[in-house]
A = this chain, B = another copy of it.
Amino acid sequence: MEIKKLFIPGPTYVHPDVLAKMATPPIGHRTAEASALQRGISEKLQQLMYTTNKIVLSTSSGTGLMEGAIRSLTQKKAIVFSVGAFGKRWWELARLNGIEADLHEEEPGHPTMPETVEHYLKTGQYDVVTVTHNETSTGIQNPIESIAEVVSKYPDVIWLVDTVSSLGGVKVEVDRLGIDVCISSSQKALALPPGLALASISPKAEERLKAIGPRGYYLDLGTLVKYVDEKDYQYSCTPSIAHMFALDFQLDRILKEGLENRFIRHVEMAEYMINWASHFYRVFPQPGFESMTVTCIENTRKTDIGALNKSLRERGMLISNGYGSLKDKTFRIGHMGDLTLEDMEALTEAMEEILGLN
């Protein structure tokens, strides 16, 4: 049976009207239409991200832009705060590019706390700090507001935030929080097919990029910014125009729904899933740090997740097993993008029936 609703933490369910835009005939990427399309997207993303910073788009996954950001912006050393696999990835990306970086990992289920960030930054060793806003491998949403207060005390530090699985579902006020590079990608709470990443770049980050100069080309942040500036939002390489048509259309839908309404819808879905998980299982993250887009559930009933998914599949649904070493010990349910409370109710009803829960 065809999967009608993906409840995995990305790629997520895509609305048919948005999907249809993926089939728009390509336009020349060196035309005025291409500039207008990419400029329009950037302006709408600025609204979504509460920022006046420049926006860049990259035909890659979020990891591609994370790699470009940590490589292009670290002069001294980066400190990476990890609460799971995607947090740790920043550190691996640095290491594989010969960039100096230290890693602070939390116990699984625990968030990055502002005092931990302060502990490292006050050493003065670091000029880049990375934080994961929402970690899909453990279902943690980090306290980005209080971390922002700490980071703001260190004006020489560039702050990179991974909002891959939060942007579009959770409010991320880039300018108020002082995020220098805020990275996201298409296939999570923005509810588009995978294949496109995006970032906002603060003037401070732009200055650093200019001071360091290009490192690499395709993923180099400075090169992306340069083309936006000098080539009127046209990129150095042929981009995925299909994704851009779909993103442009989806941003209109998102703004029409209303940002606050969209965030409230995500809170309602999250609260519903957290309650459900608490009732039948246990929620994996430390209380108060649960993600608003994906619930990571401790598999206290030793449910056979593979078998559960096989039965869900017959009903056109799919959830995720735990990530890496958390496989079978946890499982994960996405509630992001264009999913609704009704979708979550249909999912839990199906799970209760399949598993004989009551």
Contact B96 A239 (CB under 8 A): no
Residue interface bits A235-249, CB-to-B below 8 A is 1, else 0 = 011111111000000
Q: Which of A60, A63, A67, A214 has the most CB of B within 10 A?
A: A60
Say yes or no: A241-B96 contact (C-beta < 8 A), given A60-B218, A67-B216: no
How far is the CB of A198 from the nearest CB of chain B, in Å? 14
Contact B10 A238 (CB under 8 A): yes
* CA distance in complex: A67, B214 (Å): 14
In the complex, whether A220 has a CB less than 8 A from a CB of chain B is yes
Query: Which B-chain residue is minimally distant from A26 (CB atoms)?
Result: B11
Say yes or no: A193-B60 contact (C-beta < 8 A), given A26-B6, A216-B97: no
Residue interface bits A17-28, CB-to-B below 8 A is 1, else 0 = 001111111111
Contact B194 A239 (CB under 8 A): yes
* CA distance in complex: A296, B220 (Å): 31
In the complex, whether A311 has a CB less than 8 A from a CB of chain B is no
> Which residues A213-244 have CB closer than 8 A to chain B?
214-220, 236-243
Query: Which B-chain residue is minimally distant from A89 (CB atoms)?
Result: B217
Residue interface bits A322-344, CB-to-B below 8 A is 1, else 0 = 00000000000000000000000
Contact B187 A238 (CB under 8 A): yes
* CA distance in complex: A214, B64 (Å): 15
In the complex, whether A59 has a CB less than 8 A from a CB of chain B is yes
* CA distance in complex: A193, B64 (Å): 20
Chain B residues near A220 (CB, 8 Å)? 96
In the complex, whether A61 has a CB less than 8 A from a CB of chain B is yes
Contact B237 A63 (CB under 8 A): yes
Chain B residues near A238 (CB, 8 Å)? 10-11, 61-62, 185, 187, 194
Contact A195 B242 (CB under 8 A): yes
Chain B residues near A6 (CB, 8 Å)? 26-28
Chain B residues near A97 (CB, 8 Å)? 215-217
In the complex, whether A157 has a CB less than 8 A from a CB of chain B is no
Say yes or no: A217-B26 contact (C-beta < 8 A), given A59-B61, A61-B59, A195-B243: no
In the complex, whether A8 has a CB less than 8 A from a CB of chain B is yes
Q: Which of A59, A62, A214, A243 has the most CB of B within 10 A?
A: A59
* CA distance in complex: A318, B34 (Å): 14
* CA distance in complex: A3, B27 (Å): 8
In the complex, whether A29 has a CB less than 8 A from a CB of chain B is yes
Would you mind naming 6 contact pairs between A and B with Cβ atoms under 8 Å apart? A12-B26, A20-B23, A23-B23, A26-B193, A61-B239, A195-B195
Q: Which 9 A-B pairs have the closest CB atoms?
A: A195-B240, A61-B237, A11-B26, A22-B22, A194-B238, A64-B218, A23-B23, A19-B23, A63-B237
